Structure 1
Amino acid sequence: MSKLAALDQLLEQYQQLSYHTDPVLKNKLHEAQDWLKTRIQKTHEESFSQKENVLMAKYFMNRLYGGPEFDDLALQIERLLKYAHKAEKIIPENAIKTGLKSVGLAVLAMQLDEQVAAQLLQDFPVTQKIDNDIMCQTLIKLDQQQLRLEQLGLLDDLGGALDKYMRSFIMHTAFKMCRGTAAKYHFELMYDFIGEGFVAMKPMKSAAKFIHEFTAKERIIVENVHSGKINPFEI
Structure 2
Amino acid sequence: MSKLAELDQLLEQYKQLNYHSDPILKQRLNEAQAWLKNRIQDTHHLLFNEPKHQLMAQYFINRLYGGAEFDDLAVQIERLLKYAHKAEKIIPENAIKTGLKSVGLAVLAMQLDEQVAKQLLKDYPVDQPIDDEMMRLTLIKVDQAEARQQQLNMLDDLGTSLDKYMRSFIMHTAFKMCKGTASKYKFELMYDFIGEGFLAMKPMKSAANFIARFTEKERLIIENVHSLKAHPFKL
TM-score over 0.5 for the alignment?
yes
Question: Residue 58 of structure 2 aligns with which residue?
Answer: 58
1:230 deviation in Å?
1.7
SS state of the match for residue 121, structure 1?
Answer: helix
Q: Map 1:86-97; keep pairs closer than 5 Å.
A: 86-97=86-97
The CA deviation string for residues 22-61 of structure 1, in whole angstroms up to 9 with x for no partner, is: 0000000000000000000000000000010000000000
CA distance in 2 between partners of 1:33 and 1:56 (Å): 19
CA distance in 2 between partners of 1:124 and 1:42 (Å): 25
Give yes or no for the alignment of 1:11 onto 2:14.
Answer: no
CA distance in 1 between partners of 2:227 and 2:190 (Å): 40
CA distance in 2 between partners of 1:28 and 1:189 (Å): 26
Residue 220 of structure 2 aligns with an amino acid whose one-letter code is I
CA distance in 1 between partners of 2:45 and 2:58 (Å): 12
Question: Residue 26 of structure 1 aligns with which residue?
Answer: 26
Residue 6 of structure 1 aligns with an amino acid whose one-letter code is E
Give yes or no for the alignment of 1:140 onto 2:140.
Answer: yes
CA distance in 2 between partners of 1:122 and 1:91 (Å): 44
Question: Residue 163 of structure 2 aligns with which residue?
Answer: 163
Percent identity over paired residues = 75
Q: Map 1:140-219; keep pairs closer than 5 Å.
A: 140-219=140-219
The CA deviation string for residues 129-173 of structure 1, in whole angstroms up to 9 with x for no partner, is: 111100000000000000000000000000000000000000000
User: Aligned residues, how many?
Assistant: 235
CA distance in 2 between partners of 1:231 and 1:16 (Å): 34
Question: Residue 114 of structure 2 aligns with which residue?
Answer: 114
The unaligned stretches of length 5 or more in structure 1 are none
1:191 deviation in Å?
0.1
CA distance in 1 between partners of 2:5 and 2:144 (Å): 28
CA distance in 1 between partners of 2:186 and 2:209 (Å): 34
Residue 106 of structure 2 aligns with an amino acid whose one-letter code is A
Question: Residue 43 of structure 2 aligns with which residue?
Answer: 43
SS state of the match for residue 30, structure 1?
Answer: helix
1:125 deviation in Å?
0.4
Residue 140 of structure 2 aligns with an amino acid whose one-letter code is I
CA distance in 2 between partners of 1:131 and 1:201 (Å): 33
Residue 194 of structure 1 aligns with an amino acid whose one-letter code is I
Question: Residue 83 of structure 2 aligns with which residue?
Answer: 83
CA distance in 2 between partners of 1:36 and 1:11 (Å): 23
The CA deviation string for residues 3-39 of structure 1, in whole angstroms up to 9 with x for no partner, is: 0000000000000000000000000000000000000
1:96 deviation in Å?
0.2
CA distance in 2 between partners of 1:60 and 1:203 (Å): 15
Residue 21 of structure 1 aligns with an amino acid whose one-letter code is S
CA distance in 1 between partners of 2:219 and 2:39 (Å): 14
The unaligned stretches of length 5 or more in structure 2 are none
CA distance in 2 between partners of 1:216 and 1:51 (Å): 20
CA distance in 2 between partners of 1:58 and 1:194 (Å): 14
Moved over 4 A (4+): none
Residue 38 of structure 2 aligns with an amino acid whose one-letter code is T
CA distance in 2 between partners of 1:61 and 1:139 (Å): 20
SS state of the match for residue 205, structure 1?
Answer: coil
